Amino acid sequence: MKRRQFITLIGGAAAAWPLATRAQQGERIRKVGILVPGTPATRQLQDWIAAFRDGLQKLGWVDGRNVVIVERWAVGSEGLVAAAAELIDLAPDVVLTATASATRPMLAATRTLSIVFANVPDPVDNGFVTSLARPAGNITGFANYEPAIAIKWLELLKQIAPGVARVGVIYDPANPTVAAYLRAVEAAAPSFGVHALGTAVQDEEGIERAIAVFGAEPNGGLIVPSGPATVNHLERLIALATAKALPSIHPTREAVLAGALASYGVDTRELFRSAAFYVDRILKGERPGDLPIQFRN
């Protein structure tokens, strides 16, 4: 696919910038970039970005009138690095990064462009900021939860499926917080009378192999932290787990809608809707480093 065609398909607003500028003579059109770790075919990611766009519109920012929003979707670390570089070349006023997987390459690529993240766990431990109250630098945003929530996932799994004796934690290592989740589950496992085993996956084939191996023995259950692979292949993962009679606990309600046993976590759509509020403040002149990191319960 030619570069021009790619921009039109994935970030159609980018091609409309010259037209929008002519249509608003005398008024500066602001530019907002979005970096998403996945494909536009993933419903959960689409819902997140739709919530952000809705939040911006309710604050008076109308795409094509006084703001142009350009999206970049990419899979894998190399793809995200390239997509981050493309966004920087477009010189937006601020960039929204969806999850830690997108925040890391964007922050590594620029220390001057304003960044607002959403759905990022423990931004201090991840090295994105040094302080929640005053993040400083060029980044701020809305965090979801701390790694200790993984113990709640384990507790919920045992409450709903008390016969579970083996717990598989299926995770994508592209999420930099998964190591902390796994440590929390492994440390708490003996008190719940279960054995915990972590399995890293990076694509659909990896998910299929992991569930096939883990599901070969009885009395198993799954904990599935969010990550690019587990979000982009959520429906397939849940279908495979169901076929193997593996109850699964996830952090988002979208997983339950797709057939998972239960979820425990924040409303991720609200994180993205809230992120629009910070983007609005930055577009009006505030600095991201002066805006405190906020958690949503």
One digit per residue, the tens of pLDDT, for the chain of length 297 reads 433 333 333 344 433 444 344 444 557 899 999 999 999 989 899 999 999 999 999 999 999 999 999 999 999 889 999 999 999 999 999 999 999 999 999 999 999 999 999 999 889 988 999 999 999 899 999 998 778 899 999 999 999 999 999 999 999 998 888 888 999 999 999 999 999 999 999 999 999 999 999 999 999 999 999 888 999 999 999 999 999 999 999 998 889 988 999 999 888 999 999 999 999 999 999 999 999 999 875
Return the closest-CA partner of residue 32 out of 281, 293, 228, 270. Answer: 281
User: What is the reported pLDDT for 144?
Assistant: 85
Helix count and strand count (H, E) for the chain = 12, 11
Looking at residue 214, its pLDDT comes to: 95
How many domains does the chain contain in total? 2
pLDDT, residue 1, reads 40
- Are residues 228 and 37 in contact, defined by beta-carbon separation less than 8 angstroms? yes
CATH number for the domain harbouring residue 107: 3.40.50.2300
Please tell me the predicted confidence (pLDDT) of residue 26.
53
| 46 and 111 co-located in one domain | yes
Q: Indicate the burial class of 285 (C-beta count within 10 angstroms; 0-12, 13-18, 19 or more).
A: exposed
Please report the sign of the dihedral spanned by the C-alpha atoms of residue 49, residue 228, residue 203, residue 161.
negative
Cα 248 to Cα 291: distance, rounded to the nearest angstrom: 37
- Residue 227 sits in the same domain as residue 251: yes
Task: Using CB atoms within 10 Å of the CB of residue 210, give its burial: 0 to 12 exposed, 13 to 18 middle, 19+ buried.
Answer: buried
Backbone angles phi, psi at 63, to 5 degrees: -60, 125
Asked if residue 112 and residue 203 are part of one domain, the reply reads no
Token readout for 10 is: 């994935």
- The answer to whether residues 211 and 123 belong to one domain is no
Whether residue 231 sits in one domain with residue 280: no
Q: Which residues of 85-117 are buried (b: 16+ CB within 10 A; e: fewer)?
A: ebbbebebbbbbbbbbbbbbbbbebbeebbbbb
Clarify whether residues 259 and 284 are in a common domain: no
Same domain, yes or no, for 72 and 211?
Answer: no
Tokens 């629009």 belong to residue: 276
217 shares a domain with 178: yes
Residue 114's φ and ψ, nearest 5 degrees, are -70, 135
Residue range of the domain that includes 18:
3-144+268-295
Residue 121: its pLDDT value, please? Answer: 86
- For residue 177, the model assigns a pLDDT of 83
136, 133, 214, 128: which is closest to 177 by C-alpha? Answer: 128
CA 4 to chain centre: 27
Beta carbons within 8 Å of 4's beta carbon, 6+ residues apart = 15
Q: 138 with 279, same domain?
A: yes
Q: Are residues 36 and 72 in the same domain?
A: yes
Model's pTM, two decimal places? 0.80
* pLDDT, position 33: 98
Tell me: do 169 and 285 sit in the same domain: no
| 132 & 277 share domain | yes
Task: Name the one residue in this structure whose structure tokens are 């009679």.
Answer: 245
pLDDT given at position 279 = 98
Phi, psi dihedral angles at 281 (to 5 degrees): -65, -35
